[in-house]
Amino acid sequence: MSNEKTEGVVIRLADFSESSKVITWFTRDFGKTAALAKGAKRLKSSFEAAIDLLATCRIVFIRKSSGGLDILTEAQLVNRFRPYPGSLSNLYVGYYIAELLDALTEEYDPHPELYDAACEVLRHLQEHDDFQKSLIKFELTILEEIGQLPQFEYCAGCSRELGPSESYLYDAGNGGLYCQDCEQQRHGNVRVSRGTITILQKLSDENTLLSQRLNLSLQQQREIRQLLSTTMSHILGRRPKMAPYLQL
């Protein structure tokens, strides 16, 4: 057993006993980890101020080598998630982010860039009443980190460049778009306009300033939401629980 220190975001809470909780964190240095917080449900618990869904904390835990639960020993609150005042949608998006981090990451598989992306989108949800671009950028980041980012430049059928077209057929099963020649023999889930694909390529870029300058039409937002929701559902084998709350 060893003491570990890191920073993490609470992505799931579960009761363990009358006085304790199991907290699932997505941490910068260790990826996802579940730790038992003994006495966390007591009124004067030392964890009371820190244990809240989507709260960011500096934590110390004892890592168990036998495969059992880690033991949380310290949790110092860095930021408590509070969505933009009056925006219920931002709260739902926060829950959706927690759901993706929990479902799409593995224990002790660190992704520092994904951790930074999660903190960035949660910060945006607290400071702004819009969420579409920041959420899309986060979703593209998590897909890239787990090796499931769709291919937006080459045909998923013949591997050649897509070529000019007003729209493309997207197939979540093959993780990409079809060119005009291939789409006749394929079955896709979503049809996406060329302009929307250009937006997705730019949002996939690491240049945050560039992505902030992009303006998305309502139609482009709807197409991207449908594409990403279809992709997440395919990877998970089910529709994300919070997906219905993200509809435009």
pTM of this structure: 0.93
In angstroms and rounded to an integer, the radius of gyration of the C-alpha atoms of the chain is 20
Which of 147, 107, 120, 113 lies closest to 26 in space, CA to CA?
A: 107
Q: Which of 156-160, 188-192, 196-200, 216-220 has the lowest mean pLDDT?
A: 188-192
3-144, superfamily in CATH?
Nucleic acid-binding proteins (2.40.50.140)
Percent of the chain predicted with pLDDT > 90: 73
Which pLDDT score is estimated for 43? 64
Which pLDDT score is estimated for 207? 63
Q: Which helix (H) or strand (E) holds 107?
A: none
Q: Which of 22-36, 95-109, 176-190 has the lowest mean pLDDT?
A: 176-190
Who's near 234: CB < 8 A, 6+ residues apart?
172, 173
Integer Cα distance of 239 and 111 in angstroms = 24
CA 199 to chain centre: 19
pLDDT in tens, 52-95: 999 999 999 998 877 788 999 999 999 999 999 989 999 999 99
Which pLDDT score is estimated for 122? 97
Integer Cα distance of 199 and 244 in angstroms = 23
Between these two residues, 4 and 209, which has the higher pLDDT value? 4
Per-residue tokens: 203: 């949002």
Sequence ranges of the domains in the chain: 3-144, 150-236
Q: Give the type of residue at 62.
A: I
